[in-house]
Amino acid sequence: MKLLRFFLIVILLFSLNSLNAEENDKRNEITKNLRCLICQGQSVYDSDSEFANSLKIVVDKKLQEGLSEDQIYEYFKTKYGEWILYDPSLNKNTYILWLLPILIFLIGGAIIYKSFIVKK
Amino acid sequence: MKNKILPFSVIIIFGIIFFIFYKGLEDSKIYTPDVNTKKEIPVFNTKEFFSGENLKSSSIFELDKVYLLNIWSSWCVPCRQEHPLLMNLNSENKVNIIGMNYKDNLKNAENFLIELGNPYKKILIDLDGTLAIEWGAYGVPESFLIYNNEIIKKYVGPLNQELVDEINLLIK
Protein backbone atom coordinates (compact mmCIF):
# COMPACT_ATOMS: atom_id res chain seq x y z
CA MET A 1 0.00 0.00 0.00
CA LYS A 2 2.81 2.33 0.88
CA LEU A 3 4.51 1.52 -2.38
CA LEU A 4 1.35 2.28 -4.32
CA ARG A 5 1.00 5.65 -2.65
CA PHE A 6 4.60 6.46 -3.40
CA PHE A 7 4.14 5.65 -7.07
CA LEU A 8 0.97 7.70 -7.20
CA ILE A 9 2.79 10.72 -5.85
CA VAL A 10 5.64 10.27 -8.29
CA ILE A 11 3.26 9.99 -11.24
CA LEU A 12 1.31 13.02 -10.05
CA LEU A 13 4.51 15.05 -9.75
CA PHE A 14 5.61 14.11 -13.23
CA SER A 15 2.28 14.94 -14.80
CA LEU A 16 2.11 18.28 -13.01
CA ASN A 17 5.58 19.01 -14.23
CA SER A 18 4.74 18.51 -17.88
CA LEU A 19 1.49 20.43 -17.46
CA ASN A 20 3.40 23.40 -16.23
CA ALA A 21 5.94 23.27 -18.98
CA GLU A 22 3.39 23.01 -21.71
CA GLU A 23 1.04 25.75 -20.76
CA ASN A 24 3.37 28.71 -20.82
CA ASP A 25 5.42 28.27 -23.92
CA LYS A 26 4.29 28.97 -27.42
CA ARG A 27 7.93 29.11 -28.34
CA ASN A 28 8.38 25.43 -27.59
CA GLU A 29 5.46 24.58 -29.81
CA ILE A 30 6.99 26.48 -32.71
CA THR A 31 10.52 25.21 -32.24
CA LYS A 32 9.23 21.65 -32.14
CA ASN A 33 7.99 22.17 -35.68
CA LEU A 34 11.31 23.50 -36.91
CA ARG A 35 14.01 21.15 -38.06
CA CYS A 36 17.50 21.73 -36.71
CA LEU A 37 19.24 21.86 -40.06
CA ILE A 38 22.70 20.98 -38.84
CA CYS A 39 21.62 18.13 -36.58
CA GLN A 40 20.69 14.56 -37.40
CA GLY A 41 16.98 14.03 -36.92
CA GLN A 42 16.43 16.59 -34.19
CA SER A 43 14.05 19.48 -33.93
CA VAL A 44 15.26 22.91 -32.91
CA TYR A 45 13.48 22.32 -29.60
CA ASP A 46 15.46 19.15 -28.89
CA SER A 47 18.81 20.43 -29.99
CA ASP A 48 21.33 22.39 -27.98
CA SER A 49 23.54 23.33 -30.92
CA GLU A 50 24.63 26.92 -31.55
CA PHE A 51 22.33 27.08 -34.54
CA ALA A 52 19.30 25.85 -32.61
CA ASN A 53 19.95 28.12 -29.65
CA SER A 54 20.12 31.18 -31.90
CA LEU A 55 16.96 30.09 -33.63
CA LYS A 56 15.15 29.88 -30.30
CA ILE A 57 16.16 33.46 -29.55
CA VAL A 58 14.89 34.56 -32.96
CA VAL A 59 11.55 32.83 -32.34
CA ASP A 60 11.28 34.63 -29.00
CA LYS A 61 12.02 37.95 -30.67
CA LYS A 62 9.49 37.37 -33.42
CA LEU A 63 6.85 36.45 -30.86
CA GLN A 64 7.58 39.64 -28.98
CA GLU A 65 7.23 41.58 -32.21
CA GLY A 66 3.74 40.13 -32.38
CA LEU A 67 4.12 37.78 -35.31
CA SER A 68 1.73 34.87 -35.51
CA GLU A 69 2.86 31.26 -35.63
CA ASP A 70 2.26 31.02 -39.38
CA GLN A 71 4.14 34.24 -40.03
CA ILE A 72 7.12 32.88 -38.13
CA TYR A 73 7.08 29.66 -40.17
CA GLU A 74 6.86 31.76 -43.32
CA TYR A 75 9.82 33.83 -42.17
CA PHE A 76 12.02 30.78 -41.65
CA LYS A 77 10.84 29.31 -44.93
CA THR A 78 12.11 32.34 -46.83
CA LYS A 79 15.42 32.15 -44.99
CA TYR A 80 16.11 28.43 -45.10
CA GLY A 81 13.59 26.91 -47.49
CA GLU A 82 10.81 24.41 -47.04
CA TRP A 83 13.09 21.82 -45.41
CA ILE A 84 13.18 23.65 -42.10
CA LEU A 85 9.47 22.93 -41.55
CA TYR A 86 8.41 19.52 -40.30
CA ASP A 87 4.97 20.05 -41.75
CA PRO A 88 5.41 20.48 -45.51
CA SER A 89 2.84 22.40 -47.49
CA LEU A 90 1.02 20.92 -50.46
CA ASN A 91 2.82 21.60 -53.72
CA LYS A 92 4.06 19.75 -56.76
CA ASN A 93 6.91 18.14 -54.85
CA THR A 94 4.84 16.93 -51.96
CA TYR A 95 1.48 15.98 -53.47
CA ILE A 96 2.25 12.23 -53.37
CA LEU A 97 2.99 12.56 -49.68
CA TRP A 98 -0.38 14.13 -49.04
CA LEU A 99 -2.55 12.18 -51.45
CA LEU A 100 -1.15 8.68 -50.99
CA PRO A 101 -2.62 8.03 -47.53
CA ILE A 102 -6.03 9.16 -48.73
CA LEU A 103 -5.71 6.98 -51.81
CA ILE A 104 -4.66 3.94 -49.79
CA PHE A 105 -7.48 4.57 -47.35
CA LEU A 106 -10.02 4.70 -50.15
CA ILE A 107 -8.69 1.58 -51.85
CA GLY A 108 -8.59 -0.26 -48.54
CA GLY A 109 -12.12 0.83 -47.80
CA ALA A 110 -13.25 -0.37 -51.21
CA ILE A 111 -11.65 -3.77 -50.61
CA ILE A 112 -13.31 -4.14 -47.24
CA TYR A 113 -16.62 -3.05 -48.67
CA LYS A 114 -16.35 -5.49 -51.57
CA SER A 115 -15.25 -8.48 -49.60
CA PHE A 116 -17.33 -8.16 -46.42
CA ILE A 117 -20.38 -6.08 -46.98
CA VAL A 118 -21.33 -6.99 -50.50
CA LYS A 119 -20.82 -10.70 -49.78
CA LYS A 120 -23.61 -10.65 -47.24
CA MET B 1 -14.47 -11.31 -61.03
CA LYS B 2 -14.74 -10.50 -57.33
CA ASN B 3 -11.87 -12.80 -56.55
CA LYS B 4 -9.61 -11.01 -58.94
CA ILE B 5 -10.07 -7.46 -57.59
CA LEU B 6 -8.44 -8.18 -54.26
CA PRO B 7 -5.11 -9.59 -55.45
CA PHE B 8 -5.04 -7.07 -58.26
CA SER B 9 -5.42 -4.06 -55.97
CA VAL B 10 -2.96 -5.53 -53.47
CA ILE B 11 -0.39 -5.84 -56.23
CA ILE B 12 -1.09 -2.26 -57.36
CA ILE B 13 -0.73 -0.87 -53.84
CA PHE B 14 2.51 -2.74 -53.23
CA GLY B 15 3.67 -1.63 -56.64
CA ILE B 16 3.07 2.02 -55.75
CA ILE B 17 4.75 1.65 -52.36
CA PHE B 18 7.71 -0.16 -53.93
CA PHE B 19 8.03 2.56 -56.55
CA ILE B 20 8.04 5.34 -53.95
CA PHE B 21 10.60 3.64 -51.72
CA TYR B 22 12.72 2.78 -54.74
CA LYS B 23 12.67 6.42 -55.83
CA GLY B 24 13.47 7.42 -52.28
CA LEU B 25 16.65 5.34 -52.40
CA GLU B 26 18.07 7.58 -55.09
CA ASP B 27 17.61 10.75 -53.08
CA SER B 28 20.52 11.86 -50.99
CA LYS B 29 19.65 11.70 -47.32
CA ILE B 30 22.20 14.34 -46.50
CA TYR B 31 20.67 17.78 -46.41
CA THR B 32 22.31 20.06 -48.92
CA PRO B 33 21.52 23.72 -48.52
CA ASP B 34 20.46 25.71 -51.51
CA VAL B 35 23.54 27.79 -52.30
CA ASN B 36 22.83 29.15 -55.74
CA THR B 37 19.61 31.09 -55.49
CA LYS B 38 19.97 34.81 -55.52
CA LYS B 39 18.49 36.48 -52.51
CA GLU B 40 18.23 40.04 -51.34
CA ILE B 41 20.47 40.76 -48.38
CA PRO B 42 18.58 41.26 -45.12
CA VAL B 43 18.04 44.60 -43.43
CA PHE B 44 19.60 44.75 -39.97
CA ASN B 45 21.23 46.90 -37.34
CA THR B 46 24.32 45.93 -35.44
CA LYS B 47 27.49 47.25 -33.88
CA GLU B 48 30.94 47.66 -35.35
CA PHE B 49 33.60 45.49 -33.77
CA PHE B 50 36.36 48.03 -33.08
CA SER B 51 34.48 51.30 -32.68
CA GLY B 52 31.29 49.94 -31.15
CA GLU B 53 29.27 52.30 -33.35
CA ASN B 54 25.84 51.36 -34.59
CA LEU B 55 25.83 50.12 -38.15
CA LYS B 56 22.97 49.89 -40.60
CA SER B 57 23.03 47.28 -43.34
CA SER B 58 22.37 49.95 -45.96
CA SER B 59 25.53 51.82 -44.98
CA ILE B 60 27.73 48.74 -45.32
CA PHE B 61 26.88 47.40 -48.73
CA GLU B 62 27.09 49.76 -51.69
CA LEU B 63 25.73 49.01 -55.12
CA ASP B 64 28.08 47.99 -57.89
CA LYS B 65 30.72 46.61 -55.55
CA VAL B 66 31.52 43.01 -54.72
CA TYR B 67 31.50 42.02 -51.08
CA LEU B 68 32.35 38.83 -49.29
CA LEU B 69 30.64 38.50 -45.96
CA ASN B 70 32.54 36.03 -43.82
CA ILE B 71 31.09 34.67 -40.60
CA TRP B 72 33.87 33.74 -38.22
CA SER B 73 34.68 33.16 -34.61
CA SER B 74 37.84 32.81 -32.57
CA TRP B 75 36.66 29.47 -31.14
CA CYS B 76 36.08 28.00 -34.57
CA VAL B 77 38.96 25.84 -35.76
CA PRO B 78 38.11 25.77 -39.50
CA CYS B 79 38.02 29.60 -39.40
CA ARG B 80 41.66 29.49 -38.44
CA GLN B 81 42.40 27.37 -41.50
CA GLU B 82 40.60 29.58 -43.96
CA HIS B 83 41.99 32.80 -42.53
CA PRO B 84 45.21 32.91 -44.64
CA LEU B 85 43.04 32.58 -47.76
CA LEU B 86 41.01 35.59 -46.68
CA MET B 87 44.23 37.51 -46.07
CA ASN B 88 45.35 36.68 -49.62
CA LEU B 89 42.01 37.59 -51.08
CA ASN B 90 42.13 40.93 -49.31
CA SER B 91 45.64 41.72 -50.52
CA GLU B 92 44.45 41.29 -54.11
CA ASN B 93 41.93 44.05 -53.43
CA LYS B 94 39.26 42.76 -55.78
CA VAL B 95 36.64 42.12 -53.17
CA ASN B 96 35.66 43.90 -49.97
CA ILE B 97 35.65 41.41 -47.15
CA ILE B 98 33.21 42.10 -44.36
CA GLY B 99 33.50 40.04 -41.22
CA MET B 100 30.75 38.91 -38.91
CA ASN B 101 31.96 37.87 -35.49
CA TYR B 102 29.68 35.03 -34.40
CA LYS B 103 28.91 34.34 -30.72
CA ASP B 104 32.34 35.28 -29.59
CA ASN B 105 34.18 36.78 -26.69
CA LEU B 106 35.36 40.12 -28.10
CA LYS B 107 38.71 39.92 -26.34
CA ASN B 108 39.42 36.49 -27.83
CA ALA B 109 38.30 37.72 -31.22
CA GLU B 110 40.71 40.62 -31.03
CA ASN B 111 43.58 38.31 -30.11
CA PHE B 112 42.65 36.09 -33.04
CA LEU B 113 42.97 39.06 -35.40
CA ILE B 114 46.24 40.19 -33.83
CA GLU B 115 47.66 36.71 -34.23
CA LEU B 116 46.48 35.98 -37.78
CA GLY B 117 45.91 39.42 -39.28
CA ASN B 118 42.78 41.34 -40.13
CA PRO B 119 41.48 40.93 -43.68
CA TYR B 120 38.16 42.62 -42.93
CA LYS B 121 37.11 46.09 -44.04
CA LYS B 122 34.46 46.11 -41.39
CA ILE B 123 33.44 43.65 -38.73
CA LEU B 124 29.91 43.27 -37.48
CA ILE B 125 29.12 41.82 -34.10
CA ASP B 126 26.62 39.03 -33.69
CA LEU B 127 26.62 38.14 -30.04
CA ASP B 128 23.61 35.84 -29.86
CA GLY B 129 23.68 34.40 -33.38
CA THR B 130 20.42 36.02 -34.44
CA LEU B 131 22.06 38.13 -37.14
CA ALA B 132 23.43 34.97 -38.74
CA ILE B 133 19.87 33.59 -38.78
CA GLU B 134 18.74 36.75 -40.60
CA TRP B 135 21.28 35.88 -43.25
CA GLY B 136 20.09 32.30 -43.43
CA ALA B 137 23.40 31.00 -42.15
CA TYR B 138 23.99 27.61 -40.53
CA GLY B 139 27.04 28.32 -38.42
CA VAL B 140 30.70 29.17 -38.67
CA PRO B 141 32.50 29.50 -40.98
CA GLU B 142 30.23 30.62 -43.74
CA SER B 143 30.72 33.12 -46.56
CA PHE B 144 28.35 35.06 -48.78
CA LEU B 145 29.33 36.64 -52.06
CA ILE B 146 27.33 39.82 -52.50
CA TYR B 147 26.85 42.06 -55.50
CA ASN B 148 24.25 44.83 -55.92
CA ASN B 149 22.68 43.98 -52.56
CA GLU B 150 22.08 40.41 -53.67
CA ILE B 151 23.63 37.24 -52.37
CA ILE B 152 25.09 35.65 -55.48
CA LYS B 153 26.58 32.63 -53.82
CA LYS B 154 26.81 31.09 -50.41
CA TYR B 155 29.70 28.99 -49.12
CA VAL B 156 28.84 26.83 -46.14
CA GLY B 157 31.96 25.67 -44.32
CA PRO B 158 35.56 26.79 -44.67
CA LEU B 159 36.85 28.21 -47.92
CA ASN B 160 39.64 26.38 -49.70
CA GLN B 161 41.85 27.30 -52.63
CA GLU B 162 39.39 25.82 -55.11
CA LEU B 163 36.54 27.96 -53.81
CA VAL B 164 38.74 31.05 -53.73
CA ASP B 165 39.55 30.42 -57.40
CA GLU B 166 35.83 30.17 -58.05
CA ILE B 167 35.23 33.46 -56.26
CA ASN B 168 37.94 35.10 -58.36
CA LEU B 169 36.26 33.77 -61.47
CA LEU B 170 32.84 35.01 -60.39
CA ILE B 171 33.95 38.54 -59.60
CA LYS B 172 35.93 39.09 -62.79
What are the DSSP calls for B145-165, one per residue?
EEETTEEEEEEES---HHHHH
pLDDT digits (tens, 9 = 90+) for B21-69: 898 888 766 666 776 677 888 888 888 988 888 988 888 888 888 999 9
CATH topology of domain B39-170: Glutaredoxin (3.40.30)
Q: List helix spans (H) across chain B.
A: 2-26, 57-60, 77-92, 106-116, 130-134, 161-170
- Residue A75: name the closest of B128, B166, B42 by CA: B42
B128/A54 CB distance under 8 A: yes
Q: Which residues of B touch A110 (CB under 8 A)?
A: 9
- B152 contacts: CB under 8 Å, gap ≥ 6: B38, B145, B146, B170
Of B9, B12, B129, the CB nearest to A54: B129
Q: Quick check: B103 and A111 CB within 8 A? A: no
Among the listed ranges A34-48, B22-36, B114-128, which one has the minimum average pLDDT value?
B22-36
Q: Is the ipTM of this complex over 0.90?
A: no
Nearest Cβ partner for B133 among A58, A110, A115: A58
Those residues with Cβ within 8 angstroms of residue B101's Cβ, 6 or more apart along the chain or in another chain: B49, B72, B73, B109, B123, B124, B125, B126
d(C-alpha B100, C-alpha B123), whole Å: 5
Instruction: Say if CB B108 and CB B78 are below 8 A apart.
Output: no
Query: How many residues are there in chain B?
Result: 172
Rounded to an integer, the average pLDDT of A44-56 is: 92
Q: Where does the pLDDT of residue A117 fall: very low under 50, low under 70, confident under 90, or very high at 90 and above?
A: confident
In chain B, residues with a C-beta closer than 8 Å to the C-beta of A114 are 2, 5-6
**Predicted confidence (pLDDT) at residue B85 exceeds the cutoff of 90:** yes
Q: Could A104 and B13 be called an inter-chain contact, meaning their C-beta atoms sit closer than 8 Å?
A: yes
Which residues face B39 on adjacent strands? Answer: B151
Does position B132 have pLDDT exceeding 60, yes or no?
yes
Residue A106 exposed, middle or buried by CB count within 10 Å (0-12, 13-18, 19+)? exposed
| Mean of the per-residue pLDDT values of chain B | 88
pTM for the model stands at 0.72
Alpha carbon distance B164, B172 (integer Å): 12
Bridge partners (DSSP) of residue B125 are B101
pLDDT(B73) > 90: yes
pLDDT recorded at residue B30: 64
d(CA B60, CA B57): 5
